Structure formats: C-alpha cells, structure tokens
Structure 1
Amino acid sequence: MSVFFKDIASDNPVREGDVEKVLAPLGLTTKAEESSEYERLLAAVHDCAERVLSLPDYQPAPDLSRYPRQNVRLPAEDEQKFGHAWAHRFLIKGSTLGGSMKGKSVCLKDCIAVAGVPQFFGSDAFPAWTPSTDATIVTRVLDEGADILGTATCEHFCNSTSSFTSAQGTVENPHATGYSAGGSTSGGAALVASATVDIALGTDQGGSIRVPASLCGCVGLKPTHGLVPYTGITSGDPIDDHAGPLARCVADVALCLDAIAGYDNIDGKSVGAGPNGTFKFSRTLSGSKRLDGVKVAVLREGIDHALVQSDVRSCVLAATRGLEQLGAVVDTVSIPCHVEGPSIWTIQQRLAGAMGILGRGYGQRGLHLTEFEEARLPWLDSNFQKLFPSTKNTIINGLYLIDKFPGLYSKTVNIRRQLRD
C-alpha cells in the first residue's frame, strides 16, 4: 500500500468515527488503538480524490467542424414513427470524400454517445444527459460517408427484449400495430425494417440486437466479442457488451461491419482485433457462390429446447437444408452445458447489472462516460421509483445475490468459459 499525501488539507472533512461508519454496513470493526491511524489514511485518500476531481477529463474530441450536428430536436409528431421509434432527430452528414457507406442512412441506439445530442437511455429516472464525445462507431460510419439521421429509442436502461418499457413510449412492430418490435434496440429495428433508414447501430448483451431483428424481420448481427469497439457506449457488463449493425440485408450488415470493426486504441476488449479498415466481410460475400467444404453445426440443446416454438424450429431446419443444397456439410452437435446458459447468464447479469446501474462497475479499461455517471449518481429513492420494474428487479436481485451468494459471480464467469471451450 502506498500513501502519496504527507499533509492533510485544512478543510478535509474526515472526522473521528468516519472509519467506523464506513465499515458498519458490512458488520466490520477496527481495533480502538488503530482507529486514529485509519482515520488519517482515510483523510489522505479523500484529499487524493479531491485532487483527481479537480483535473480536466480526458475524452476523445469530436470533429464538429467536419461533422456538425444539424437541427438537434425532439421528433415532431408528424415525423415520429411506429409509436416512439425516434429518440432525437438531427442530421450529421458523412464524409464529403465518400467511402464504402456513401449514400447509406443510419440511426443510433439511444445509448450510443453523440456529442451535443441528449441521451435518454430509455429512462426518465434522471434528466437526459449530453455526451461530450462521439462513440468510435459513430466516427467510423461518418468517415465512410454514411449520414446519421438521429437516435432511436431503446428500452429502459437497455434492460428488456420487449418494446414497451422505454419511458419515451412504446415502439410498435412496423408490420403489425399492437405487437412487440422486440428490444432493447427496439426503435432501430423498427426504423430499419420499415426502410426509414438503411442501417441501425445497436448493442447486445443478451439478445438486444438479435431479438428485435427477428421480430421486425431484418438482419441483426451480434459480432464476435471485442471485434467492434464499445468506446462511447453505455455499458451493461463488459463481459457481455457488443455493438453491431441491423439492416434489411446481409450485404449491408457486412458493409457496416467492415466500417466499424477493429481496435481503436481505447477499448481494452478490442485489443485482440485487427486494425480498423482491414476487414473485408462485404468482399467475401460478393465473391461467394457455393458452400462446398463448409461445415455447419446445429446445436441439439438449442434447437430441441422446450422454449423454441415449433414453427421457429421448422424455419431453422429448413434453412439448414438450404445450406446443404449449396454444398455445406450440416451436422448436429451436443454441448450439454448449454442448457445451463439461461441460469448462468441471469446470475451474471443480475450481479454485474446491479453494480453497473448503481455506479459500482469497475475494472474496465477504456473510455468511461463521465457525464452519464454525474447525471445519474447518487441514487435517490425518488429516482429509483421512476425505474421500470425490470430495472428495479435487476437491482434488487443483484443486491440479494451479493448478500446471500458471495463469490457466485466468479463461478458464473468460469462456467461461461467452459461453454466457450
């Protein structure tokens, strides 16, 4: 342990008894003869915290001269789509030099930072916060010539795969009013499926790209973990954070993935990815014809699961027969531990999710969205009461698990690795 402050500031607020107050909620105590020493160490760390607080923040500066934000506004009634699919409307025109996405229109899930554009995060538990930076994937699609038309509604704290939990309003399925668009990238999926935009950038921790894409009838990709940097996007748990595209066709998904994939020298989860600009997914697609020699595995525990509807199972199996007709070798494989996936994911997400919501998520290397934390912390009961029940439940479950099952998070992380291996 190191202590870098020799002198304590004259206005330091740490007083006798504060050490005991810190330990009391955990049922811990200090020896009476040591209390004053810990009090002095606590005062030193308080001064250290004040010093860090006084320093200027360090976030990537957006190029507002090259990519100005035009006409940032709440959507007017006549421009709102499918209930409340839009969060904010604005225009950021892509690079005048063109690029692979020239002519494509894009919307962003309302958890992806755009400097100067307020973000709701699907909630009204705290006022909309305004980022001072752009997410890496925002800059990358602009650099490739795409135009960004606005942010799309996401579910409450991105904490639901339905489309009625956002405080900004329900998102209707674009094909059938009164039916779910899926979530939590609900607005983006509806806008893509209806051809209002070409591509949506979304996030996925447990189906939040894939579920709305499925329900709205478009293509949604959760990329390999770390392939796309998560820099400038509100986090659930870094273990599960994925950002990826939704589009009406596989070709546009591949085109967008080419643009956004690759390490950005910030997000520690992407350190193993190749450099941006070196991926050629779209070129691979354009040159593909038959699938001779390609092996495709169908997971028995996935397709035979009791929750899989029979018509969904039939569609998947029909697709595999189509792959076989193109020359692929399709085989059924078994991973018995897969059936434990829902329980493993639930425990890991409740524990990490609660800590993240409460502002106690640590250990992530990369960009932290300081303004977001300042806007929502500290938590008050008045804020908590505005949360959607599913978000309240995450906090309640997480705090219970921490109290009753210490160490369980570590076990879920280990068993997840067993599934991968």
Structure 2
Amino acid sequence: MSVLVLGETDQTSLVSAEEVKTLGHTHNLTIPPSELQDWAILLTGLNHCAKEVLALPNYYPPVDTSLYLRTDIHHPSGDKETDYGGWATKATIKCTHPKSNELKDNTLGIKDAIAVAGIKCTNGIGGKIGEWIPKVDATLVTRILDAGGIILGKSACEAGCLVAVSDTSVTGNVHNPYDYGYSTGGSSSGSARLVATGQVDMAIGTDQGGSLRKPSANCGLVCIKPTWGLVPYTGCLSLEATLDHAGPMARTVQDCATVLEVIAGNDGMDDRQPYSWPQGHVKFGGELKKFLDSPSETPLKGVKVGILVEGFPSEMTDSNVAAASKFAISKLAELGAEVMEASIPFYKDSGLIWMVGMAMPTTTQSLLSNPSGRKQLLFSDRCGLSGATLTQETFDALGFGAQNVYLRGLFLQERFGSPLHARCTNLRRKLNDEYDNAFKDVDLLVMPTCIFPPGKIEPQGGASLGPLKMLSRTIGIPYNTAPFSSSGHPALNLPVGFVPAQDDKNVWLPTGLQIVGRKFEDLMVLKAAGSWEKVSNWKTMRYGGD
C-alpha cells in the first residue's frame, strides 16, 4: 500500500514507538526495536489522515421531507394499538407529487430493519443500537412513495432479524392473526401480521434464511423472495451481503407482483445488482395481469414442474402440510403443467452449510457493523454504536438469537478461522450449481414452504425460556427456505390451505407451497402462483383434523 502523506502533523495525531510496540504485542507480533520509530512516523501520518476524513461531511442520499411528508410519528402501546404486536412505530408517510400511480392509495408497512429517515429503526433489539434514527430513506421506500404508496409505519421484527419465532422483538410478542398465542414466524413477523389483519394492503420484509417466506406461510400471505440482487438492499440493515434479500408481502399474487415491479431494478448504490436491469425493466405487475386475463383453461401448458423429493423430509414433515402441498401441486397439473419428481441429494446438507457459513460474516458485517469490501451505502453513525467487539450492554440487548450468531461467529473464527468460511462458500456454489442443473430439466421446483405449522409463542417472551429452550424451537423451520436464500433463486410462498396445529387439532393455521424458479425468472414464478390462485380459494381448504 502506498503512503500518501508523510511529514509534519499536529501534536494530537502523534503515535509513539511504545504504542506501536503495544499494538504488535496485542496481535501476537514482535516488531524489531530498530523499526519502531519508522512505524510510529508512518502511523502518525495515517492517524492524521483518518482524522481529516472524519472531519469531512458525510455523504448520504438527501431526503426532501417537503416532498416526502412524514407526520404523526409515534410509538403505539397496548394490544389494540399495536395490532397485537404488529406495529413498532406508526406514522403517515406520503409523496406530495408521485411519479406514477402504480401504488396509488395503497397502504404499506416497512420492516423495522429498513431505514426511514427520522423514524427509529430498532432492528428488533434494545439498548443504544436499538435507538438509532436513520437520516436516509432506503431506496425501496423512496420508490414506493414515488409510486403513490402510503407508508403507515414500521412493522415489528424479531431480535436482530435472527429468530424464526415471533416472541423475541424488543417491541413485544407478535401474535398469529389466525389464533392468538401462536407464532407468525420470523423475522418479518410484524409485516406478515399487518397485511393479514388488513392494517395495511402490502408490506416489505427482508430475507436471509426465510424471513419473508416463513411468516407469509404461517399467516396466509403471498410473498416473493426475489432473485438475489434484483431489489436494491440500499438502506436495509444487512446480515450478510450474499444472503440479503428484500421483497413484498401481500394478500394476492397480483399485489405482490405490482410491488415487485415498483421496487426492483438497479439503484447505482447496491453493488450486487446487475447494471443491465434498471427500474421498470420488467413490468411484473403489468405482465402478470395480461397473462392472467388471457382466457385459457391450461395457462401452464408447457411448464415443467419438479416436486423436490428432498423438500419433503419424512422424519420432519407434518403429514397435513405434505398433503396440502401435494394437492396444490396436483392443481398445477390440472392447469397444464407437466409435473414430475426432481431430486437434489446434496439439498439435505444445504441447511447445515447455510448455518455454519453465515456465522462468521454475519458477526462481522451485521453485529459489528463492518461490511468491508462493499461499494454501498453504509450507516457510519450506527457503526459507531457497535465497536470492534460488542460491549456487554449491546450483547445483553441482542437477545438469544443474535447472541447465538455472535458467539458462534467468535467460536468458529477462533477454532477454525477463514478456511471454514471459504469451504462453506465453495459448497454454497456447489449447491447453486446443482439447483441450476435441476433447472435444465424443469422450469420450477415446488415443496412446502414450512414443513410443519407454527407453534405457540412464550407469553413472557422467548428470553424467559433461556437460550437452549428458546433456540431449540426453531429447529427445522428454515429447512426449505434457507437453501434458496443461500443460492439466490427466486422463491415464492403461495397459501394453499389450513392445517391443524400440532399441539391442538382444534386450532387451524395457514400453510404454504414454495415455488422456486431460475434466477431472474421471477415472472415465471409469479405466473405459476397467479394461475393457481385464480382458480383456487385456499381459505376453503383444510387438511387433517378430526
């Protein structure tokens, strides 16, 4: 690395030879005494430069609050005002001069892990970091407002976006809209509840292991985790850049497609996005509407659908969930699709690779707010709340889900180091290649979104259970969702009926079919789901029970 500045500097930037010696010892290095002063001079110049950079004004995308009005910002309390845990913050945010009417008068909730300028972004956790107030709007927030959408606030999310059960958020438990006391799933728990109960028309969630699809399956919603990089993640709190997705949740496939059309496309800041895909490149909503309006009894003729054998693990899959998914798949055949079995044996290891592989980078990129090596918008003010290591106060505020990832990251880094992460990265590519090979024979893969219905949440909050019992409840929940967060293929949840809760056959909860497509063929996934929805009423379908 070249040295740009060397020479006189102010006294406050001086670095002593003793400080250099201590720095080396801290990191198990011995620097020859004859070189200590040279390094002191070099680091003094660097210290001065760093201070000069910090003195420069930060550079954030400006937010014109006279154009993008936000009023009545407040934190609700009580079951009724929060919609039984759905809301973290309420507000009214709208654009005075929208660029289009694609979302005119539609109301939306934004997950509380996404930046909305002037509104606290808790990310589901407490402490100082949970009090952070962004100065910017996420790209997708601006695009929603420019399309005439009205944002009614921030929806609750689970602690650190790292828990699949809805009783860990700093804002309180989020109850399933179909039965009080049951989980919505996580981490986009509030987004799912608010759409299901009609508080909003649509919502935005994020997904690194199924956080869009699991709550949607449990609450009877349509959602799509788009192709990785299709929707800009700019302004959303990252867990791990290779896993980060943001997408829409809605009550219909058409609404889901319309929101995707608005928010998809390159924004010039998220370095994971294809430059050849500007906003509006594919008119998801418009194209889907034209497709569904065409009179055909077999709209899926010529489409090959593969039932992923490994997506129905016999030792874990609830029999009623399996029955619901298989009946839904038979309806795809009636719509003209050619249905066949597909097998990806390595799929069974995908959850293991995802779990081990995400711990070290998520600890660094998310929990320590240090996503180095990226060209993107970073929140330097929030980074200052983390530090090189977590303070006891911050660690305590995380909750067991995020604490679990942090301790795993530290443990794996110390015990195995970067070779383990490199191995996981290469194995994720192998999984991706095996999915792509499967897509040479079929156009879509289908399986249950969640392999069993949601369970009960803990009335006193998940933290009251202790880490082992709390975290053990999540085993198996992301079995079919995490693989496609890892690979980046588009994956949609389609509600296909009700199944009884495993602990009470009198409680009926939604279940969903996951439809997965080739990368950047999100429209094909939407067309298949829309065709099924057009001729089916999932709310009349029940599987199992007495």
Query: Under a length normalisation based on structure 2, what TM-score does the superposition of the two structures give?
Result: 0.74
Contact 2:6 2:42 (C-alpha < 8 Å) held by counterparts = no
Q: Could you report, residue by residue, the CA deviation over 1:165-222 in whole angstroms, capped at 9, with x for unpaired residues?
A: 1111111111111100111001110000111101111100001101111111111211
Q: Show the counterpart of 1:293.
A: 302
2:372 to 343, 362, 370: 362
Could you say which residue in structure 1 is the equivalent of 2:353? 344
Partner Cα separation in structure 2 for residue 79 and residue 48 of structure 1: 53
Match of residue 138 from structure 2: 135
Which stretch of structure 1 is more off in the superposition, 270-279 or 242-251?
A: 270-279
Q: Aligned pair in 2 of structure 1 residues 398, 53: CA closer, same or farther (>3 Å)?
A: same
* Shift of residue 370, structure 1, vs aligned partner: 2.0
Query: What secondary structure is seen at the aligned counterpart in 2 of 1:80?
Result: helix
Partner of 2:273: 270
CA–CA separation in structure 1 for the residues paired with 2:153 and 2:109 = 5
Report matched runs for 1:16-415 at 5 Å.
16-77=17-78, 80-94=81-95, 96-97=97-98, 98-126=100-128, 127-272=130-275, 274-286=277-289, 287-288=291-292, 289=296, 290-304=299-313, 306-356=315-365, 357-377=367-387, 379-406=390-417, 407-415=419-427
Contact 1:82–1:173 (Cα < 8 Å) also in 2: no
Opposite residue 383 of structure 1, the aligned amino acid is T
Q: Give, as a single letter, the amino acid of the residue that structure 2 aligns with 1:50.
A: K
Partner of 2:3: 3
SS at structure 2 position matched to 1:92: strand
Higher relative contact order (CA 8 A, sep 6+): 2
Task: Say if 1:86 and 1:187, in contact at 8 Å, map to a contact too.
Answer: yes
Equivalent AA in structure 1 for residue 399 of structure 2: F
Q: Which structure 2 segments of 5+ residues have no match?
A: 434-546
In 2, distance between residues paired with 1:78 and 1:190? 13
Deviation at 1:84, TM superposition (A): 2.1
Contact 2:114/2:237 (<8 A) preserved: yes
Question: Which amino acid is 2:371 matched to?
Answer: G
Could you tell me which amino acid in structure 2 is paired with residue 238 of structure 1? A
Aligned amino acid, residue 6 of structure 2? K
Residue 362 of structure 1: SS of its match in structure 2? coil
Q: Among the aligned pairs, what percent are the same residue?
A: 37
Is the Cα contact below 8 Å between 1:90 and 1:150 reproduced in 2? Answer: yes
**Paired residue type of 1:223:** P
In structure 2, what residue type is equivalent to 1:125? G
Question: CA offset at residue 13 of structure 1?
Answer: 4.5
Q: Give unpaired runs (5+ residues) of structure 1.
A: none
1:274 CA drift (Å) = 0.9
**1:110 partner letter:** D
**Per-residue deviation, residues 137-160 of structure 1 (Å, max 9, x unmatched):** 001111111100000111111111
1:210-266 Cα shifts (integer Å, max 9, x gaps):
111111111121100000000011100000000000111111000000000000011
CA distance in 2, matches of 1:294, 1:210: 23
CA contact 1:205–1:241 (8 Å) conserved in 2 = yes
- Describe the SS at the equivalent of 1:385: helix
**How many aligned residue pairs are there?**
421
Displacement after TM superposition at 1:332 (Å) = 1.5
The 1:306–1:29 alpha-carbon spacing in structure 2 relative to 1, beyond 3 Å, is: farther
User: What is the deviation of 1:326?
Assistant: 0.6
**TM-score (norm: length of structure 1):** 0.96
**Partners of 1:94 and 1:102 within 8 A in 2:** no
- Cα gap change, 1:16/1:213 in structure 2, threshold over 3 Å: closer, same or farther? same
